[in-house]
Amino acid sequence: MSYLLGVVLFALAILISVSLHEAGHMMTAKAFGMKVTRYFVGFGPTLWSFKRGETEYGVKGIPLGGFCKIVGMTPQDDDVEPGDEKRAMWRYPVWKRTIVMSAGSAMHFAIALVALWIIAVSAGLPNPKFPTTEAGFRAEPAVIALTPCVVVENAARACTSSDPASPAGTAQLKDGDRITAVNGRPVSTWGDMLDVVRGTKPGPATVSYLRDGTPATATVDLASVQRPPLDDPKGATSAVSALGVALQPSTPTRVEYGPVAAFGATADFTGNMAVQTAHAMQRIPQKVPALWNAITGAERDVDTPISVVGASRLGGEAVENNAWLVFFMLFVSLNFFIGVFNLLPLLPLDGGHIAIAWFERARSWLYSKIGRTDPGRVDYLKLMPLTYAVILVGGVFTLLTVTADVVNPITLFSR
């Protein structure tokens, strides 16, 4: 039940953010004097609506987005009534049209920033000083926390009575001990310790450690377990040794901030998120074959793109496991991605309209400098084949992601 609640809540949160996207277009258009005739949440048949002034507001039957109708977005639009010619959007200065068209993405960014600020002061953001190596391994000292057991197979689950006890616990190591060597091989970080332990044969091994600053040694009977390579969590498993410990972080993985300091932390985190989003978008074409493989039965790569369906399922998992921080961080990431994606210079995205507006402006300036007649506005009708191509590619990609999210979804938690 909690899973279904999470799915519904996340889908509703997405619908609200998309509705605010359209509200951003509407409010800025009205502020500049453009005529907005309709603002609806959803598509399809109208369930309820009312008219205030010159704008009809309402809700439609298919809750998969929303739209607002600004009169005269292009010179080719035939929705301009007599007397409204001067209020057609395409007649306004390019900077005003740019603000209106980018206001949707600005809304997504605003939602993400506000949510991040709230998270920063309540639950904390990832610690930017949390030490990791270039390969992503923990670079902290190997300070251990004993686990109750070792799970022999490669699975994330709780211990059972049939699982062998922690070798480190059996050898009387304690929480807070810092491992310094295994069979004489020095260990300086947690990543080093994992590497050395896995490279040591199962069975008795001499483990050197520090306890309250005092050096000591213990003979630990290393367990044999099945694990994938450290640098390839999706790779084939093999028999390696395990100590039966977890990392006891000496540096907090998250940092809570005061209301003022949270602004700077939010800005820094947003900058890192922008870089990661750019990299993720660059990898999308490379991930299409992996999506197809997931649909046809291969294991789903967690790095493949997801649809709104997949994101909602992950939101459901988060609520089911009481991981609300995951829920909200997923919501933040999705809003940021939508905001960036919508600014790509491709029709029918908002970024495509912005690009055309500035192309017209630059072309007019150039022609005036060389003494040629201004060629005027771009003919959108001539761009329709390209627009249809973008819609087709986007539709196929959406179908792939939705299908993969239904038949072979990404999961964050064991269910």
Q: Looking at the annotation, which residues are catalytic?
A: 22
Yes or no: say if 170 and 223 are a contact pair by the CB < 8 Å rule.
no
Position 412, amino acid: L
Report residue 169 as tokens. Answer: 């616990």
130/252 Cα distance (integer angstroms): 7
Say if residues 259 and 239 touch (Cβ distance below 8 Å): no
AA letter at 132: T
φ, ψ of residue 227 to 5 degrees: the values are -140, 150
Single-letter amino acid code for the residue at 17: S
Do the beta carbons of residue 340 and residue 277 sit within 8 Å? Answer: yes
Do the Cβ atoms of 100 and 28 come closer than 8 Å? yes
Distance CA 150, CA 254 (A): 27
According to DSSP, residue 143 is labeled B
Q: How many CB atoms lie within 10 A of CB 180?
A: 19
The amino acid present at 100, given as its one-letter code, is V
CA angle 110, 112, 114 (to 5 degrees): 65
Cα 27 from Cα 34, distance rounded (Å): 10
